Amino acid sequence: MAAELIEDSTSTSSTPAVGTAEASTAAAAPAVRTGKLSAYELVRAFESEQLKSDLPEIYVGDTVRVGVRISEGNKERIQPYEGVVIAKRHGGLNETITVRRIFQGIGVERVFMLHSPQVATIKVERRGKVRRAKLFYLRDRVGKATRVKQRFDR
C-alpha cells in the first residue's frame, strides 16, 4: 500500500511537471518575441538616444565658448558664455564641465551638462597647456596670473 502511494504521488507529480515545463516554455517564448528589455538595458537605450554626437574634444585648460539657450517669454535666444574649463566630471550622459570667467571684476563659474538641450553649441576657442586635472587654484589668482599657456599640438 505504501508502494502504491509512492507510485501514485510520483505519477501525479511527473504529469504536472511536464505540463508546467510546457507552460513555462510557452510563456517564455512570447517574452522573447516582444523584445522586452531589462531595466538596465532600457536605461542604456534611452541614454544612448540622448547623447550628442557633434561635441568637440574638450580638455581642462581649454578656453571654450558655450552657447546657452535662454527662453524669455515665448522667444528663445542663444547667449554665449566664454571662459576656461577648470574641471570635467562624470561620463556619458551625465558629463559636465565647469567654466570660469571674470565678469566685471568678479569670478563667475558655471557648470554645464554637455548633453543637455540647454547647451546649443560648444566651440573650443584655444587649447590650454596645463599639468593638472582640475584647475581650482585659478580661483585664488588675480589678473594676468589667471592666464593659461596655449597648446598648439592638439
Q: pLDDT (tens digit, 9 = 90+) per residue, 32-51? A: 445 788 999 999 999 999 99
Query: Is 133 within the bounds of a domain?
Result: yes
Candidates 60, 81, 67; CA nearest to 116 is: 67
CATH number at residue 137: 2.30.30.790
> Within this chain, do residues 138 and 74 fall inside the same structural domain, yes or no?
yes
Question: 18 vs 65, which has greater pLDDT?
Answer: 65
| Whether 95 and 140 share a structural domain | yes
Q: What is the pLDDT of residues 76-135, one digit of tens each?
A: 999 999 999 999 999 999 999 999 999 999 999 999 999 999 999 999 999 999 999 999
Residue 90 lies in a domain: yes
Residues 6+ apart with CB under 8 A from 52: 114, 115
Per-residue confidence (pLDDT) for residue 114, from 0 to 100: 97
Same domain, 133 and 67: yes
The domain of 14 spans 2-36
Tell whether 128 and 87 lie within a shared domain. yes
